[in-house]
């Protein structure tokens, strides 16, 4: 069992990475406040695979779950679904001290977190992440959100959980494609913060992530430590937390240009890391060979690194200009000097276009 404390200034909470599901000495008091009653939000896939085991475990630690299930996938992260869940909580007579437990990937976590932050102006919340991406990234740091027809994650709050309970055993049923998505985010931590993560990520077999015994647990723990550290230094995403955008500036643009079809988030981030590293090399920020290193690791894990056909440099720059995280005239990138060292750099769109054209 590994434990990391996330410190937000106003609140601290543990992220527990465990080889067993819900084996704790004690529960945070806030979770037992409503005589143990709690609302579990999950999606249909996870419900089929893991819900009965999970419910049994919850009961064994004194909780009495009511389960609300959504359809799987990004299309559930919308305002209609958010309101449905809130209404169902009213019908279940959920009170101010009734905790919401998100059992799922980033979609369930973001949606359930938003509902928990809004219902009766906020109820206790727990993340139980079931995808690798959610275990290393989305369950930590308190960002919640839903998509609008105009764009992804446009409506959201910061609402930190009381705890994150991570069980590596969930990964046994996760398809290899989704494991790769998570590994792409692990590489991101390796490049921006902790080079030890790079070697560990490439040891994982996406088709059988639990094969190497404790390797996956160690990897998740190192990523959680990195995320906790960065969130602790910049809870509201105004500075250092933006290092986490590495690969995401181009990654988000690629996803949007592709209409969120045919390419997964993790794949887009993998390509984004490659091209952002090329930018860093041509600006003299990255050490020579950084991009070659990234490509080699992506190749080992079966992740893409070439720009998908049909996406031109002009489309890419336009896509970056539309990104919601943009504030001024320039486009802000998290660029890696060498593994473990990251800087934020504003690049003027016309200069970016020129560099991209020269890269080809
Ligand atoms: N809040 C944050 O800080 C943050 C950070 C990164 C990403 N995100 C968000 O996370 C979302 C993506 O998350 P995701 O990749 O986990 O997607 P997801 O939640 O859609 O899960 C992917 C698929 O895997 C299935 N699944 C989940 N766990 C499984 C398991 N153990 N076995 C088998 N199938 C399983 C799900 O049903 C779903 O079909 C995006 O909406 C993104 O915006 C949020």
> How confident is the model over 4-24, as pLDDT tens digits?
999 998 999 999 999 888 777
Atom 20, ligand 1: residue with shortest CA distance: 73
Strand pairing category for 331-338 and 163-167 = unpaired
Q: What is the pLDDT of residues 138-181, one digit of tens each?
A: 999 999 999 998 888 999 999 999 999 999 999 999 999 999 99
Q: Is the per-residue pLDDT at 25 higher than 80?
A: no
Q: Which of 106, 146, 235 gets mutated to test ligand 1 (max ligand atoms within 8 A of its CB)?
A: 106
Query: What's the chain's average pLDDT?
Result: 94
pLDDT for position 314: 95
- Residues in contact with ligand 1 (CB, 6 Å cut-off): 43, 45-46, 49, 72-74, 77, 104-108, 110, 130-131, 133-134, 137-138, 141, 143, 153, 170, 173-174, 178, 181
| pTM for the structure as a whole | 0.96
Atom 21, ligand 1: residue with shortest CA distance: 105
**Is residue 164 within a helix (H) or strand (E), and if so which, with residue range?**
strand 163-167
H helices present in the chain, as ranges: 44-60, 79-91, 106-118, 132-133, 176-192, 196-202, 215-233, 248-257, 265-282, 290-301, 313-322, 349-359
Q: Is the per-residue pLDDT at 193 higher than 80?
A: yes
């Amino acid at each position: 069992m590994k434990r990391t404390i996330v410190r937000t200034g106003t609140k601290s909470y543990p992220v527990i990475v465990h080889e067993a599901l819900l084996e704790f000495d004690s529960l945070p008091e806030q979770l037992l406040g409503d005589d143990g009653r709690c609302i579990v939000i999950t999606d249909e896939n996870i419900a089929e695979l893991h819900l009965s085991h999970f419910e049994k475990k919850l009961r064994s630690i004194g909780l009495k779950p009511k389960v609300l299930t959504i359809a799987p996938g990004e299309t559930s992260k919308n305002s209609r679904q958010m309101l449905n869940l809130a209404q169902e909580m009213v019908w279940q007579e959920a009170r101010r001290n009734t905790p919401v437990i998100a059992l799922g990937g980033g979609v369930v976590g973001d949606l359930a977190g938003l509902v928990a932050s809004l219902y009766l102006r906020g109820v206790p919340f727990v993340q139980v992440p079931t995808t690798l991406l959610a275990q290393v990234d989305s369950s930590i740091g308190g960002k919640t959100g839903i998509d609008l027809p105009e764009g992804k994650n446009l409506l959201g709050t910061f609402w930190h959980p009381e705890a994150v309970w991570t069980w590596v055993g969930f990964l046994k049923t996760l398809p290899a494609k989704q494991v790769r998505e998570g590994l792409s985010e692990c590489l991101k931590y390796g490049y921006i913060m902790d080079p030890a993560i790079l070697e560990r990520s490439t040891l994982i077999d996406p088709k059988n992530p639990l094969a190497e015994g404790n390797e996956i647990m160690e990897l998740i723990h190192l990523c959680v430590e990195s995320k906790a550290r960065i969130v602790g230094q910049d809870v509201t995403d105004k500075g250092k937390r933006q290092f986490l955008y590495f690969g995401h500036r181009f990654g988000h643009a690629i996803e949007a240009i592709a209409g969120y079809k045919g390419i997964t988030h993790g794949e887009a981030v993998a390509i984004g890391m490659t091209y952002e590293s090329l930018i860093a090399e041509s600006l003299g920020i990255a050490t020579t060979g950084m991009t070659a290193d990234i490509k080699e690791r992506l190749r080992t894990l079966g992740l893409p690194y070439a720009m998908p056909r049909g996406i031109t440099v002009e489309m890419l720059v336009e896509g970056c200009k539309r990104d919601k995280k943009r504030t001024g005239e320039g486009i802000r990138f998290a660029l890696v000097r060498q593994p473990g060292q990251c800087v934020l750099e504003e690049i003027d769109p016309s200069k970016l276009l020129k560099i991209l054209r020269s890269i080809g």
